[in-house]
C-alpha cells in the first residue's frame, strides 16, 4: 500500500533513487511526530544518521524537496473551482550565546534573524491543499529609513508579497477552470502590487484581496476635492447589510459575537510618490466591515479590504469578507496543522532541511 509520503513526493527528482527513497522515509518519520526532535522522530540511530546525511547532501536542496509537493498541490488545486492562496512571513530568529565560543561572556548573545515566507493554498471551506511557494532568507542589518525609501520594491523584503502574487498569476494560466485569489494582511498593502494586476492578460490574471493598512489619498475630480481619503470615503458609503461574526477567544480576550455593518465602494487611488519612477493611478474595489457599537472597553472589530473582486452587491461584499477570513488559517496552527496535515509535515521537514540543528516549531506559527 502506498503511503501518504510516497504519494506526496512521487515526482521527486533528486538525481539519485536512493535520495528519493530517503526523502520518503524522512518525511514519513517527521510527519508522524512533527512536534519532536529529529532523533526522537526517527526512532533509531541508523534512521537519524540517514536523515542528517540526507540534509547534508548537496542535491537535497530547499527547491528540490519542495518541488514535488508543489506539483501534488497543483493537482489538488485543479479539482477546485476557487482556490485562496494565503501568504505570510514567519520568524525563526536564533539567539546564539557567544560565551562558549570565546567571543564574550555567557550573557553576550548574537541574534540571527531568519524569515520564511510561504504561500499556502486553501479552499473557501478552509481545507488546506498544500504549499505552492516558499522563500526563506537571513535578514541583514536594516539600513536607515532614508536609504530604504530610495530603493525599489523589488529590492526590499516587501517584494516577497508581489512575488507570491506573480506565482498566483503563473498558476492561473495553468488552471483556467479555477479562480485563484491571493490573500494578504496589512503588510501586503503595496501600491505596486495593485498596479501590477493590470499588466496581466485576463486569462493569466489572478485576483487579489488585501487588508488595507494605509489611509491612501484618492484621485480628485471636478466634483470632489483631491484630498479625499480612503477610510473617510468608505465610512460615507451606504450600508449594504449586516453580518454576524464569531470572535474566537484568545489569551486575555474572551470570545464573543459581533455584528458588523458592511459598506462597499469602487475608489480611484492616487499614486504615491516614488524616487526615480512614477506609478499610474488605479481603480480598486473596497469593503469596510465595522462593528459600530462594540461592548464597553472592547476594541471594535474593523476590516477595510481592498480587492479586485466585485463588490457591487451585499452578497459579493460578504464573499470578500468570508474569503479574507480564510487567511487566518495560515496564522492559526490548529486550523491546518493537524496530525495528518500536508502543510505541517512539509514545513517541519523544510525546517530540518535548512536548519537541521534547530528544528523549531516557530516555523509552523
| Residue 328, CA distances (Å) to 85, 128, 258 in order | 11, 12, 18
**20 and 78 assigned to the same domain:** no
**30 and 169 assigned to the same domain:** no
pLDDT of residue 354: 44
**180 and 229 assigned to the same domain:** yes
% of residues, the chain, pLDDT over 90 = 47
Give the CATH number for residue 283: 3.90.350.10
* Pick from 11, 1, 51: nearest CA to 29: 51
Instruction: State mean pLDDT over 32-58.
Output: 87
**73 and 203 assigned to the same domain:** yes
**301 and 275 assigned to the same domain:** yes
**294 and 344 assigned to the same domain:** no
The DSSP code for 188 is G
2 vs 362, higher pLDDT: 2
pLDDT at 364 over 60: no
Instruction: State mean pLDDT over 2-19.
Output: 89
Provide the terminal-to-terminal Cα distance of the chain, rounded to the nearest Å. Answer: 33
Range list of β-strands (E), 65-195 = 82-87, 90-91, 94-97, 109-112, 114-122, 128-138, 179-184
**44 and 159 assigned to the same domain:** no
pLDDT of residue 30: 84
**185 and 143 assigned to the same domain:** yes
Are 114 and 140 in contact, with CB atoms under 8 Å apart?
A: no
Give the CATH number for residue 30: 1.10.246.40
**46 and 140 assigned to the same domain:** no
**216 and 307 assigned to the same domain:** yes
Q: What is the pTM of this model?
A: 0.82
Domain span including residue 98: 61-331
pLDDT of residue 355: 41
**179 and 305 assigned to the same domain:** yes
Domain count, the chain: 2
Query: In the structure grid, which three cell numbers stand for residue 160, read together?
Result: 516577497
Antiparallel, parallel or unpaired: β 179-184 and 207-211? parallel
pLDDT at 72 over 90: yes
**154 and 88 assigned to the same domain:** yes
Q: Tens digits of per-residue pLDDT, 24-42?
A: 998 888 888 877 888 888 8
Mean pLDDT across the chain, nearest whole number?
83
Amino acid at each position: 500500500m502506498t503511503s501518504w509520503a510516497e504519494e506526496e513526493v512521487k515526482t521527486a527528482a533528486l538525481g539519485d533513487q536512493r535520495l528519493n527513497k530517503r526523502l520518503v522515509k524522512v518525511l514519513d518519520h517527521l510527519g508522524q511526530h512533527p512536534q519532536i526532535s529529529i532523533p526522537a522522530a526517527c526512532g533509531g540511530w541508523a534512521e537519524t544518521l540517514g536523515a542528517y546525511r540526507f540534509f547534508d547532501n548537496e542535491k537535497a536542496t530547499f527547491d528540490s524537496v519542495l518541488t514535488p509537493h508543489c506539483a501534488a498541490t497543483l493537482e489538488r488545486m485543479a479539482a477546485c473551482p476557487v482556490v485562496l492562496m494565503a501568504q505570510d512571513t514567519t520568524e525563526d530568529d536564533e539567539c546564539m550565546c557567544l560565551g562558549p565560543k570565546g567571543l564574550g561572556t555567557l550573557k553576550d548573545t548574537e541574534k540571527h534573524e531568519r524569515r520564511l515566507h510561504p504561500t499556502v493554498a486553501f479552499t473557501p471551506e478552509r481545507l488546506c491543499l498544500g504549499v505552492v511557494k516558499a522563500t526563506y532568507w537571513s535578514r541583514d542589518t536594516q539600513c536607515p529609513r532614508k536609504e530604504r525609501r530610495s530603493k525599489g520594491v523589488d529590492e526590499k523584503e516587501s517584494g516577497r508579497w508581489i512575488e507570491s502574487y506573480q506565482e498566483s498569476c503563473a498558476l492561473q494560466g495553468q488552471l483556467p477552470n479555477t479562480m485563484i485569489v491571493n490573500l494578504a494582511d496589512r503588510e501586503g498593502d503595496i501600491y505596486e502590487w495593485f498596479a501590477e494586476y493590470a499588466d496581466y492578460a485576463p486569462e493569466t490574471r489572478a485576483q487579489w484581496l488585501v487588508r488595507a493598512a494605509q489611509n491612501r489619498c484618492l484621485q480628485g475630480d471636478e466634483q470632489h476635492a483631491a484630498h479625499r481619503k480612503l477610510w473617510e470615503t468608505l465610512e460615507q458609503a451606504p450600508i449594504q447589510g449586516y453580518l454576524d461574526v464569531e470572535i474566537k477567544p484568545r489569551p486575555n480576550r474572551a470570545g464573543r459575537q459581533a455584528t458588523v455593518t458592511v459598506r462597499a465602494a469602487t475608489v480611484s487611488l492616487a499614486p504615491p510618490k516614488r524616487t526615480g519612477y512614477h506609478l499610474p493611478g488605479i481603480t480598486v474595489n473596497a469593503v469596510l466591515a465595522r462593528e459600530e457599537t462594540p461592548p464597553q472597553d472592547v476594541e471594535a472589530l474593523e476590516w477595510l479590504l481592498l480587492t479586485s473582486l466585485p463588490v457591487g452587491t451585499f452578497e459579493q461584499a460578504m464573499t470578500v469578507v468570508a474569503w479574507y477570513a480564510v487567511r487566518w488559517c495560515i496564522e492559526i496552527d490548529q486550523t491546518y496543522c493537524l496530525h495528518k496535515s500536508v502543510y505541517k509535515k512539509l514545513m517541519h521537514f523544510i525546517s530540518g532541511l535548512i536548519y537541521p540543528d534547530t528544528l523549531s516549531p516557530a516555523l509552523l506559527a
